[in-house]
């Protein structure tokens, strides 16, 4: 069966480079990287009251997240919390033998690194950028302090915790019971919703890692989907050609995980 068609992937730690406005190449940073921001397209931040946003504003920084860049590795001490804008970030759970599967996907609707902040714990899973783009980040210690000072900030950001737990729960069901093709369709829809891009930079290898399957399985399914004109892909990336048909081919998890769209 397709879902047992697993493959061993290892994390290349040479790619592990937590971004920093001081360490990253200037070309990777937005022009406002060293300056406090005035607004954000991240829905959690834009949904804050003016008063709450103004309290956070001096500590918020705009950064560029590169494709396939690791933000955290498993058991890392939390350094920053990220609020993606155009970037899309994947969280992976890994086994000791290197096998891994994506357990959550976050874009402009949420935040990354939020749960450890409440638990005062280390990062549970490794986290990698799936689609390059912009994000707003804040030092975790500062945000933690702000949450203690202003309980209303915790109330405003709490829906992210609920959203995160719901996604983890749904993905565990999805990974167990739904076919690779259904999961691929669902993931493509979720990723496009979050990235807002018509064409996403994706490789079969990357999709296989996300779904926790052999790359040839992805290639075979993607070929079939391209023949049916659901998607198209080239070296430039992958685009969704017929969203309606893709939704019909996706599992019900898509609608469970995309209530805001
Ligand atoms: Zn599913």
Q: What is the pLDDT of residues 74-98, one digit of tens each?
A: 889 999 999 999 999 999 998 888 8
Counts for the chain of helices (H) and strands (E), in that order:
10, 10
Q: Enter the tokens of residue 27.
A: 């070309």
Can you point out the beta strands (E) in 176-236? Answer: 199-200, 231-234
Whether 11-173 and 179-257 share one fold: the answer is no
Confidence band, pLDDT 50/70/90 cuts, at residue 33: low
Report the separation in Å between the CA atom of 184 and the middle of ligand 1, taken as the mean of its atom positions.
Answer: 9
Confidence band, pLDDT 50/70/90 cuts, at residue 122: confident
Break the chain into its structural domains and give their ranges.
11-173, 179-257
What is the value of pTM for the model shown? 0.84
Report the separation in Å between the CA atom of 218 and the middle of ligand 1, taken as the mean of its atom positions.
Answer: 16
Report the separation in Å between the CA atom of 183 and the middle of ligand 1, taken as the mean of its atom positions.
Answer: 5
pLDDT tops 50 at residue 14: no
| Per-residue pLDDT, 260 | 54
Can you point out the beta strands (E) in 9-165? Answer: 61-65, 70-72, 80-84, 88-94, 100-106, 126-131, 133-139
Report the separation in Å between the CA atom of 194 and the middle of ligand 1, taken as the mean of its atom positions.
Answer: 17
Architecture of the structural domain at 11-173 = Sandwich (2.60)
Report the separation in Å between the CA atom of 219 and the middle of ligand 1, taken as the mean of its atom positions.
Answer: 19
Report the separation in Å between the CA atom of 172 and the middle of ligand 1, taken as the mean of its atom positions.
Answer: 9
Report the separation in Å between the CA atom of 104 and the middle of ligand 1, taken as the mean of its atom positions.
Answer: 12
Cβ < 5 A residues, ion ligand 1: 174, 178, 251, 253
Q: Give 36's strand partners.
A: 61
- Give the fold, CATH level 3, of 179-257: Arc Repressor Mutant, subunit A (1.10.10)
pLDDT tens, residue by residue, 213-250 = 999 999 999 999 999 999 999 887 899 999 999 999 99
């Amino acid at each position: 069966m397709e879902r047992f068609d697993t493959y061993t992937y290892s994390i290349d730690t040479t790619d592990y480079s937590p971004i920093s406005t001081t360490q990253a190449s200037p070309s990777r940073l937005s022009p406002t990287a060293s300056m406090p921001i005035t607004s954000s397209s991240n829905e959690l931040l834009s949904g804050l009251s003016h008063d709450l946003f103004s309290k956070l504003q001096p500590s918020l920084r705009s950064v560029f997240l590169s494709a396939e860049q690791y933000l955290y590795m498993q058991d890392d001490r939390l350094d920053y919390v990220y609020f993606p804008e155009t970037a899309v970030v994947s969280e992976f759970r890994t086994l000791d033998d290197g096998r891994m599967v994506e357990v959550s996907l976050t874009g402009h609707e949420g935040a990354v690194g939020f749960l450890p902040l409440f638990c005062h714990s280390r990062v549970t899973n490794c986290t990698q950028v799936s689609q390059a783009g912009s994000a707003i980040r804040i030092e975790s210690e500062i945000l933690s302090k702000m949450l203690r000072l202003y309980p209303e900030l915790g109330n405003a950001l709490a829906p992210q915790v609920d959203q995160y737990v719901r996604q983890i729960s749904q993905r565990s069901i999805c990974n167990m019971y739904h076919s690779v093709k259904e999961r691929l369709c669902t993931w493509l829809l979720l990723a496009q919703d979050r990235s807002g891009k018509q064409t996403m930079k994706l490789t079969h290898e990357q999709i296989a890692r996300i779904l926790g399957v052999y790359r040839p399985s992805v290639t075979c399914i993607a070929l079939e989907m391209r023949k049916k004109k659901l998607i198209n892909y080239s070296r430039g990336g992958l685009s969704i050609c017929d969203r309606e048909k893709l939704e019909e081919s996706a599992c019900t998890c898509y609608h469970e995980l995309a209530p805001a769209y």
